[in-house]
Amino acid sequence: MSGKTIVVAGAGVIGSHFVPHLARLEDVGRVVLIDRDIYEPRNLANQDILPGDVGKPKVLVQARRLAKIRPNLEVAAIHAPLESVPLGTWRADLIVACLDSRAARQAVNERAWRVGVPWVYSGVLAPEWLARVNVYAPAAGAPCLECAWSAEDYRLLEQQYPCDGPARMPTPTGAPSALGALAAALMALECRKMLGGEVEHAAVGRQVTLNARWHQFSVTLFRPNRQCRFDHATWAIEPLACDAHDLRLADLLPESSTVRVPGQRFVRRRLCRQCGRESRVFHLECSLDPGLRQCDACGKPMATPGFDVVETLSRDLPPDVLGMSLADAGLRYGDVVQCGDRFLEIAAKGVIADDK
């Protein structure tokens, strides 16, 4: 593989217009697309798709498109909520967020800082025909997304959609296709600067706003906020080269008395509230099989009772759980486990983790 890696979250109003630019950015060698949704008929009005794309996962449609424009581009399509994607997947040269939900942007901000990767996000405000692009670069004393948030912003924070639930990100209504394309173009130009060694000219720590209705252009400088609710921590992540089918949960524990997967949790039992069917498991919730998400008796969604959630692994767990392999417990390559104050990324043997 040659060229840089870029992770793109969201392939909707802005993302569908943005993704093709990636194939034409010569510095890009690998693209990771993340989106949980499929294209719907109403998306034809303002997203850059064809009628035949309706009903298909957004990431697959865009991955095929990239392959047509540049066949040698390496593309990974992840059809899943971004919160469930292993932290290691976000280790890239640049992260791009084409997301209209505040909670989703907050999640990307957190991940970008944890792995220390700059990120770009773009948004539109339909009534004003306003497109904006922001760039954040994790560093000591640098502003993050949340630095500019007020108490009101936190109040407006949309209800987090759990990776387990049926909730979907809301789609902004009425954003014209051309506005999404404008935002996408602004963002692609910032990406070009960030990847092509022109970081000093990129909008790092700034918001660039273009109001196409009233022809107004502005640049706002963000300042780091000492009262920011986010901790701004970038983790020193070490690779844990192993065979996930071989290494057992107990093997992680001598390191420290407790182990956790930050931002994720394990479930011990799944229960159907409709018909009462239950299944006993021990698994990372976000990587549960579809069969454990839906009741096989009545088809209703299965839930995890509150008492059956495990946040931290310890020696107190039953021996059959401690004897499980990482893979059987739902841990994937790229997942980061916190053992005491160390952060270890599960990596396949022979694959050298990107040591940036």
The contact set with Zn ion (CB under 5 A) reads 144, 146-147, 228, 230, 272, 274-275, 277, 295, 297-298
> For Zn ion, which is the closer residue by CB, 61 or 203?
203
Q: How many whole angstroms from its chain centre is CA 294?
A: 24
Q: What are phi and psi of 189, to 5 degrees?
A: -70, -40
Packing angle of the helix pair 15-23, 58-69 (nearest 10 deg): 30
- CB of 279: closest distance to Zn ion in angstroms? 11
> For Zn ion, which is the closer residue by CB, 3 or 301?
301
> For Zn ion, which is the closer residue by CB, 160 or 274?
274
Q: How many whole angstroms from its chain centre is CA 310?
A: 23
> For Zn ion, which is the closer residue by CB, 55 or 291?
291
3-class state of residue 19 by DSSP: helix
- CB of 150: closest distance to Zn ion in angstroms? 13
Where are the strands (E) in the chain, listed by range? 4-9, 28-34, 74-78, 94-97, 119-125, 130-136, 206-211, 216-221, 237-242, 258-260, 266-272, 278-284, 302-303, 309-310, 312-314, 336-339, 342-348
The whole-angstrom separation of Cα 304 and Cα 155 is: 27
> For Zn ion, which is the closer residue by CB, 178 or 275?
275
- Are 82 and 204 contacting, i.e. CB atoms less than 8 angstroms apart? no
- CB of 229: closest distance to Zn ion in angstroms? 8
Sign of the CA dihedral 308, 314, 319, 323?
Answer: positive
- CB of 14: closest distance to Zn ion in angstroms? 23
> For Zn ion, which is the closer residue by CB, 49 or 295?
295
Residue 31: CB partners within 8 Å, gap ≥ 6? Answer: 5, 6, 7, 8, 19, 22, 66, 73, 74, 75, 76
> For Zn ion, which is the closer residue by CB, 64 or 229?
229
Expressed in angstroms, the distance from the first to the final Cα of the chain is: 16
> For Zn ion, which is the closer residue by CB, 274 or 325?
274
- CB of 61: closest distance to Zn ion in angstroms? 33
- Are 107 and 119 contacting, i.e. CB atoms less than 8 angstroms apart? no
- CB of 295: closest distance to Zn ion in angstroms? 3
- CB of 95: closest distance to Zn ion in angstroms? 16
In one-letter notation, the amino acid at residue 8 is: V
Q: Comparing C-alpha atoms, which of 298, 310, 300 is closest to residue 269?
A: 310
- CB of 147: closest distance to Zn ion in angstroms? 3
